Amino acid sequence: MATINTFKEIRSWQHAKELSVECYKLTQEDRFRFDFAMVNQMRSSAISVPSNIAEGFERKGNKKFIQFLFIAAGSLGELQTQLIISSEVGLLDPTRLVTLENKCEGIRKMIYGMITYLKSSEQKGYKFSEPECEYRRNRELNETEAHVLSEELQIEGALIWEEYRRNKGDVYGDEELELSNEFVQR
């Protein structure tokens, strides 16, 4: 397992940051030009997601990290609501809405998988580890591979969430713990 020494190494932070940049660029488009309230709200909620993941990580403990992950998930829900409203009032193309909503769902599943693990973790420290995924080992990602990775992460997150719902909180079996955990503290 790779030790995570900085929030920039956390996958959910990386994807949330990419989504924030994409939303920021979206709100720079002409159709959003005069809707100052929507632009400010979308930018604020989009930026809040990776910011809260980073802040929680920097607090160096499970309890605080979990608290900030919940805040990040709330901001993600806020952003998704604003994207839906933007589409319904004609500011956002429905096809683009689907793409952005899928990204939101993938990030949400990663965040809740991380929360579930941190709640059950017996290790309480300030360093976290993340297992290396087979498809990410020693590979350079081109655009096609990045798209496939995004889909795989959404599927991985969906499986973790389904397992959580099925077991009502016990996401990981003992044998899968080392392979399935989003984070392990050292």
Question: Could you read off the pLDDT of 96-146 as tens digits, one per residue?
Answer: 999 999 999 999 999 999 999 888 876 665 555 544 443 343 344 444 555
CATH superfamily of 2-185: 23S rRNA-intervening sequence (1.20.1440.60)
Continuous H helices in 9-93: 11-26, 36-58, 62-88
- CB neighbour list of residue 74: distance below 8 Å, 6 or more residues apart: none
Nearest-angstrom CA–CA distance, 10 and 180? 15
Give the start-to-end residue ranges of the domains of the chain. 2-185
- Over residues 148-177, the pLDDT tens digits come to 555 665 566 656 656 655 655 444 344 334
Output the pLDDT for position 33: 87
Nearest-angstrom CA–CA distance, 61 and 185? 9
- Over residues 18-65, the pLDDT tens digits come to 999 999 999 999 999 889 999 999 999 999 999 999 999 998 888 899
